[in-house]
Homo-oligomer: A and B are copies of this chain.
């Protein structure tokens, strides 16, 4: 008997989360064991309120092609933590919805928190002898999921950072006067994306000459010494920092500023590390200084996405369908690197319970120059991930994306 697929997106947007959705849809439609592919609108939170759509019926071939290239999250997202207590009435209510819709396969595209959802649902299903398969498809620009070489979304974000910082470097060196430019990049705990700013360099000694990650303790006086040394060599100094850089006691650098806010979840909202250091450099050195926060386009630029990342995101979605049809559940699709050159990866499955709620930090042996740089090994690792230009679809001079009507 045919069973239906339900797929959702959760957590922050990326450039390729829709490419994984595309992968789930086209692979799902290719198997006769599968009836329909439904999409949860706004993740499991929206689904519980009855919001979903029939992706099999509602999208044309042309729209599917656009979906693959559309950044952000086509189905909408949520940040919804499932009850820790598996005897909560939430679970039977949800599984009753699954039963009514004849769901046999559940896919959740997301990061650590989303894998927690897959973990809980698969454990509940196991306890209650449900045959529904629960599969996680990895997604995060932060690249902080364990047991996978990298995550879909990181390559595109890294490419955006490399391209954009390279252009900032050109912009910053047009005047003769000494200047410092501080570029603040996303990353609360993991420095992968900030490390990608090293890809902006064209030659040995090129900017950005200083790179600070959350994984290395930040110290103001050492920073001042680093900047002073850099200014003695170059008139235009570019410094890239993670939003989440912190001192040896774990105090965020932005907390040295006046204003600290929390988001609706009580998370500290980290704005201002760049602005904080801008003021520090101005007061200390009296040179021209500015700070630039790259902001959300790091995670949602379809125009500057990586074709490699897009194709791998599609593959992760397709492999998820295949794994579920092979009987897998409670797993996440992961990438295993076969070789750097030629670059080759393999899709594998890993136990989602071992992935969820953990963070893969940037390795300390890839941090060098007293916490101000990253090693060649990182470049070898990251370069393959940013290769290839997306098949941009342009209409009237602007990128054409798929919107949910």
Contacts and interface: CB of A to CB of B under 8 A. Distances in A.
A1 to B, nearest CB: 34
Interface stretch (A31-39, A117-125, A298-306): A298-306
Contacts of A102: none
A250 B391 CA distance: 46
Nearest to A292: B295
A27 interface: no
Interface residues of A, number: 60
A86 interface: no
B42 A302 contact: no
Interface in A349-405: 383, 386-389, 392, 394, 396-399, 401, 403
A162 interface: yes
Contact of A386 (B200, B306, B389, B397): B397
Contacts of A203: 403
A174 interface: yes
Interface stretch (A75-83, A91-99, A241-249): A75-83
Contacts of A162: 397-398
B167 A300 contact: yes
A360 B159 CA distance: 37
Given A46-B176, A292-B296, A389-B392, A171 B397 contact: no
Given A167-B297, A175-B76, A199 B398 contact: yes
A49 B62 CA distance: 59
A48 to B, nearest CB: 12
Contacts of A389: 392, 394
A137 B177 CA distance: 25
A297 B45 CA distance: 37
Contact of A175 (B70, B79, B292): B79
B296 A42 contact: no
**Taking the full assembly, how many copies of this chain does it contain?**
2
Contacts of A199: 397-398
A299 B171 contact: yes
Interface in A292-326: 292-293, 295-297, 299-304, 306
Interface in A144-171: 159, 162-164, 166-168, 170-171
Contacts of A168: 296-297, 300
Contacts of A176: 42, 45-46, 76, 78
Given A176-B42, A398-B200, A171 B300 contact: yes
A71 interface: yes
A73 B73 CA distance: 37
Interface of A: 9, 13, 42, 45-46, 70-73, 76-79, 159, 162-164, 166-168, 170-177, 199-200, 202-203, 263-264, 288, 292-293, 295-297, 299-304, 306, 383, 386-389, 392, 394, 396-399, 401, 403
15 contacts: A70-B170, A71-B171, A76-B174, A78-B175, A78-B176, A166-B399, A166-B401, A167-B297, A170-B300, A171-B296, A199-B397, A203-B403, A386-B397, A388-B397, A389-B392
